[in-house]
A and B are shown apart, each in its own frame.
Chain A
Amino acid sequence: MSLREDAVLERFSDRKGRAITLRSGGPGWAEALYGMYRTYDPSQQAQGIPPLHPVRLREWLRSLLEEGINLLAVHGDRVVGHVVLMPDRLGSYELAIFVHQDFQGAGVGSRLLQALIVHARERGVKEIWLSVEAWNHRAIRLYRKAGFGKVEGDQWEQIWGLRLADVSHQGRP
């Protein structure tokens, strides 16, 4: 993996005392991310992602890393969490976040999401949305805590959103 593209954003210890580094990641992180998703618990797949088929998984990661804004949570040489913003056709960004099951419940997802929001604002992102299954209470709690509000939804799927435009973004036009 290339160290050139790594911007370390934050270092902290998770609730189990493990050292975590949050950094932005580009295409050079494909292999390390593949390592995380290859062992990701399939029962925690959300609406068909991450793809189960290894070839589709690599394609999916390639497109996220090439087209999206990606932040990674790294412990040692292992990627343990990943959040991505993918541009939609209307100038907003869709968010997806995954934390490896070995590192869930330790505050990693929450820190990753907060860091992403700051990072996105600096990059001029104005609006973030996401799709979540209505029964995924754990994820919904995370989004709510980060400031997201429910936009629409039925008994199966919901859209949550967060507007960044109202908040000043530090000297940017």
Chain B
Amino acid sequence: MKMRPVLWLEDTEAGWAAFRYARELAALRGVGLVVVCPRGLADRVRSEAEAAGVKVEVRVPPEAEGVVSLLRAAEEEGGEIVVAAHRTPTGKVVLGDRVTTVLLNAPGPVVVFKPPRKVGG
């Protein structure tokens, strides 16, 4: 079983920190990475994955089907989903509507990557 991590990427500092985490997870496991993200992020994802020697499959879903595409990818891979939470300047953790939806609907484990303080501020 290949079990590639499936990352839900948003263009925030916390999102890219989650990307680096997922990339490292894939490298340690010796597998590739699946990234579900908006089209505008695809090039940067490819170049940053390649730079670390990790094969990446980028999936750009239509806006409205983002969560469903993510869940489908996770189902196919049989591995975990990685999503980013955000931190406010006072240190509150904000999951947001989409992360909560992913948690409640994921077919398997979900890694909620919490940035260290300040990253989300």
Contacts and interface: CB of A to CB of B under 8 A. Distances in A.
Interface of A: 46-49, 51, 59-60, 63-64, 68, 84, 86-89, 93-96, 131, 154-157
A87 B89 contact: yes
Contacts of A51: 91
Interface in B68-97: 88-97
Contacts of A59: 117
Nearest to A48: B93
Given A60-B117, A63-B117, A157 B96 contact: yes
Interface of B: 88-97, 100, 117-118, 121
A48 B90 contact: no
Contacts, number: 51
A117 B92 CA distance: 21
Contacts of B92: 46-49, 96, 131
Given A63-B117, A156-B100, A95 B93 contact: no
A64 B97 CA distance: 27
Give chain A's interface secondary structure class: mixed
Given A46-B92, A93-B89, A157-B94, 6 more contacts: A59-B117, A60-B91, A64-B90, A95-B90, A96-B92, A156-B95
Given A88-B121, A156-B100, A94 B89 contact: yes
Contacts of A88: 88-89, 121
B90 A84 contact: yes
27 contacts: A47-B88, A47-B92, A47-B93, A47-B94, A48-B93, A49-B90, A49-B91, A51-B91, A59-B117, A63-B117, A63-B118, A64-B90, A68-B90, A88-B121, A89-B121, A94-B88, A94-B89, A94-B90, A95-B90, A96-B92, A131-B88, A154-B96, A154-B97, A156-B97, A157-B94, A157-B95, A157-B96
